[in-house]
């Protein structure tokens, strides 16, 4: 599988360079097996951001019944990355104009005082430039739009709510959260917790996709089902309690 992908990538690089569309381009290693799709719970991300510095503030969305896209990350089984695969194309703010309102609703930067574009630019440079070797993500607009489409298709908030798991002050069993997502989507995700100040918080739900953008079991590419420090229960925050 790995070998196959690298042949395809090589082919693509050759093709791109022969078609004359690319001026000097520094290609990195585009070798990846799957895409890790991280959707986070805005309230936990805000909690995290505030916990880093008491002067940090959040810009939280009005509508709080959705997980937000954090990123779609090309990854190799058993390890991370690749990252920053190419310095081309450069991040272009205007390219996102057609989907700006969707981005602001589902891929907003929660960190107050820093702008949305700095977040998107970071995700593009680090991950999008790697994902662009796949046809569905072969432009900045397609990478961001494609990720938003996955966010709409794999509605984590809705999946959990369907099994009675809603933001609350009570705790939930990590296994119940895991099973709800598994039952709804039919494949094993990763439940990713933030462990800080003695609390175990549901931070994100990660889904894994193969290079054809088909949902696969995260366990099949070496991503563990639970990343909650071995804890049995977690909290799904309904409000910010950090300060």
Ligand X SMILES: *[C@@H]1O[C@H](CO)[C@@H](O)[C@H](O)[C@H]1NC(C)=O
Residue 242 binds to ligand X (criterion: CB under 6 A):
no
Binding mask of the shown chain, residues 113 to 132, with x at each position contacting ligand X by CB under 6 A: ---------x--xx------
Rg of the chain taking only CA atoms, in angstroms:
18
Nearest alpha-carbon partner for 218 in 152, 202, 131, 210: 210
Residue 53 binds to ligand X (criterion: CB under 6 A):
yes
CB of 4 to ligand X, least distance (A): 26
Residue of 5, 6, 83, 105 that binds ligand X (CB under 6 A): 83
Q: Is the peptide bond before 236 cis (omega within 30 degrees of 0)?
A: no
Give the tokens for residue 214. 């088909």
Residue 243 binds to ligand X (criterion: CB under 6 A):
no
Torsion of CA 152, 155, 157, 158, to 10 degrees: 110
Given the complex with ligand X, which of 84 and 224 has the nearer CB atom? 84
Please give the DSSP secondary-structure letter assigned to residue 126: I
Residue 84 binds to ligand X (criterion: CB under 6 A):
yes
- The residues near 46 (Cβ < 8 Å, ≥ 6 apart) are 58, 60, 110, 240
CB of 84 to ligand X, least distance (A): 4
Cα 28-29-33 angle, rounded to 5 deg: 145
Catalytic residue numbers?
A: 70, 123, 127
CB of 109 to ligand X, least distance (A): 14
Given the complex with ligand X, which of 55 and 101 has the nearer CB atom? 55
Do residues 51 and 225 lie in contact, with contact meaning Cβ atoms separated by under 8 Å? Answer: no
Residue of 55, 62, 101, 170 that binds ligand X (CB under 6 A): 55
Residues that bind ligand X (CB under 6 A): 53, 55, 83-84, 122, 125-126
């Amino acid at each position: 599988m790995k070998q196959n992908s690298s042949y395809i990538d090589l082919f693509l690089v050759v093709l791109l360079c022969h078609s004359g569309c690319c001026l000097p381009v520094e290609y990195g290693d585009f070798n990846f097996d799957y895409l890790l799709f991280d959707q986070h719970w805005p309230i936990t991300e805000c909690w995290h951001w505030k916990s880093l510095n008491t002067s940090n503030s959040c810009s939280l969305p009005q509508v709080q019944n959705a997980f937000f896209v954090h990123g779609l990350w090309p990854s190799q089984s058993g390890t991370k990355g690749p990252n920053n695969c190419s310095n081309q194309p450069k991040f272009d703010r205007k390219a996102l104009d057609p989907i700006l309102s969707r981005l602001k609703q589902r891929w907003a930067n929660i960190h107050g005082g820093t702008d949305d574009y700095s977040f998107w630019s970071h995700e593009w440079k680090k991950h999008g430039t790697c994902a662009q070797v796949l046809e569905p993500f072969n432009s900045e607009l397609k990478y961001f739009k494609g990720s938003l489409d996955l966010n709409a298709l794999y509605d984590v908030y809705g999946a959990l709510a369907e099994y009675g798991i809603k933001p609350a002050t009570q705790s939930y069993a990590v296994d119940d959260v895991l099973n709800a997502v598994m039952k709804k989507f039919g494949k094993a995700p990763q439940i990713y917790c933030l462990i800080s100040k003695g609390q175990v918080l549901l931070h994100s739900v990660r889904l894994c996709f193969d290079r054809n953008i088909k949902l696969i079991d995260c366990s099949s590419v070496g991503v563990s089902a639970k990343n909650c420090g071995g804890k049995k229960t977690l909290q799904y925050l309904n409000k910010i309690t950090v300060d």
